[in-house]
Amino acid sequence: MRRRDFIWCLSVAFAWPVRPRAQQSDRMRRIGVLLPFAENDAEAKSHLSALAQELKRLGWSQDRNIRIDVRYAAGMADQYRPLAMELTALQPDVFLSESTPAAAALKQETGTIPIVFVGVSDPVGSGFVTSLARPGGDLTGMMQYESGILGKWLSMLKEVAPHLTRVAFVANPKFKGYDYFWGFAQAAAPALAIELVPSQIGSDAADVERAIESFARMPDGGLLFVPDATTIANRDLVIALATRYRLPAVYPWRFFVTAGGLMSYGIDNVDVLQKAASYVDRILRGAKPADLPVQAPTRFEAAVNLKTAKALGLTIPPTLLATADEVIE
């Protein structure tokens, strides 16, 4: 196992001066959290654990001086707005949102409660901040992916399957961020001699199955899964379908590979949640979101599942194995 740190957008990372911490108030503070996962999802529990542990390190403990209220959208686009309304009614001191739809729903419900976001790839284009260095409003947080990641994902597919000529872009068009990823994927595909095929899915599992089954009817194909709450909610299904139709697939997060997916390249979610906790801490101590620059990811991890590769009849190239942070055998 190897770990590598990649430094992106240094100009926006930790560019503020260190200030003495203010005296902590005895008043119980409230944090509203809106997640794209189902409540029983192990990944949701991992994210909340990372958040709680870092907050505790910073002096905030559940039921002692903070209360964390969590709502789970479970990958359903129509759940974000009512859940955001529920959380807003609790009048928290700060929100933490994971995913673009979560941040958008909370922003729509309040213009005064600070929001720290994670899992947002285009915060400027989504209208959350004026710029990365100077957010200028009530939102700030951790940027997820920039445009170059699409070329990385597509090149990984081409590396494991050189014969590949078609790649399905599997995502739900109702989620914000779809156009962002689709546009950059289209720009990256021609250089790799790849035809990019839109495979739009809905929240219903049967719809996901139909989309992948339809794409699999033609040869020399692969699957690209971009960050999408629908994919997260249906990850066991999409992994099973990729195996059934013997389609190489690349995923944006490591937890897809540990669940049986072929390979991934993406951010370290625990690291991101710890950084987000530091912003929640600063805001609870009086900092303004407008003064906290949006941070770009600094830690990425690649994972490969050799068992899945064997099931697909693929040989993982030595170069890809050598650069992987985790190889599952």
For CA atoms 304, 165, 122, 295, give the dihedral sign.
positive
In the chain, what is the greatest distance between 2 CA atoms, to the nearest angstrom? 64
Pair (11, 129) in one structural domain: yes
pLDDT at position 240 is 97
What's the CA angle centered on 72, arms 70 and 75, to 5 degrees? 155
Pair (44, 117) in one structural domain: yes
pLDDT at position 92 is 97
What is the spatial distance between Cα 290 and Cα 164, in angstroms, rounded to a whole number? 46
Per-residue pLDDT reduced to its tens digit, 246-291: 999 999 999 999 999 999 999 998 899 999 999 999 999 999 999 9
Pair (126, 167) in one structural domain: no
Q: What is the DSSP letter of 162?
A: T
Q: How confident is the model at residue 27 (pLDDT cuts 50, 70, 90)?
A: confident
Give the 3-state secondary structure percentages of the chain, helix then strand then coil, rounded to 5: 40, 20, 40
Question: Mutual orientation of helices 205-215 and 235-244 as an angle, nearest 10°?
Answer: 30
pTM: 0.85
3-state secondary structure of 306: helix
What is the spatial distance between Cα 10 and Cα 238, in angstroms, rounded to a whole number? 35
Q: What is the DSSP letter of 314?
A: -
Q: How confident is the model at residue 26 (pLDDT cuts 50, 70, 90)?
A: low
Q: How many residues does the chain have?
A: 329
End-to-end CA distance of the chain: 12
- Give the pairing of strands 299-305 and 263-267: antiparallel
Pair (226, 322) in one structural domain: yes
pLDDT at position 13 is 36
Looking at this protein, which amino acid is placed at residue 222?
G
Pair (191, 312) in one structural domain: yes
Pair (167, 137) in one structural domain: no
Give the residue from 134, 127, 315, 297 showing the smallest Cα distance to 227: 297
Q: State which residues form the domain around 210.
A: 149-266+301-328
Pair (126, 213) in one structural domain: no
Is the pLDDT assigned to residue 9 strictly greater than 70? no
Looking at this protein, which amino acid is placed at residue 132?
L
Pair (20, 161) in one structural domain: no
Is the pLDDT assigned to residue 19 strictly greater than 70? no
Whole-number percent of the chain with pLDDT over 70: 92
Burial 39-58, CB ≥16 within 10 A → b, else e: eebebbeebbebbbebbeeb
Pair (188, 284) in one structural domain: no
Is the pLDDT assigned to residue 57 strictly greater than 60? yes
Per-residue pLDDT reduced to its tens digit, 129-174: 999 999 999 999 999 888 889 999 999 999 999 999 999 999 999 8
Pair (97, 234) in one structural domain: no
Per-residue pLDDT reduced to its tens digit, 205-219: 899 999 999 999 999
Pair (161, 72) in one structural domain: no
Pair (179, 307) in one structural domain: yes
- How many domains in the chain? 2
Q: What is the CATH number of the domain that holds 60?
A: 3.40.50.2300
Q: Hey, which residues does 200 pair with through a beta bridge?
A: 171
Whole-number percent of the chain with pLDDT over 90: 78
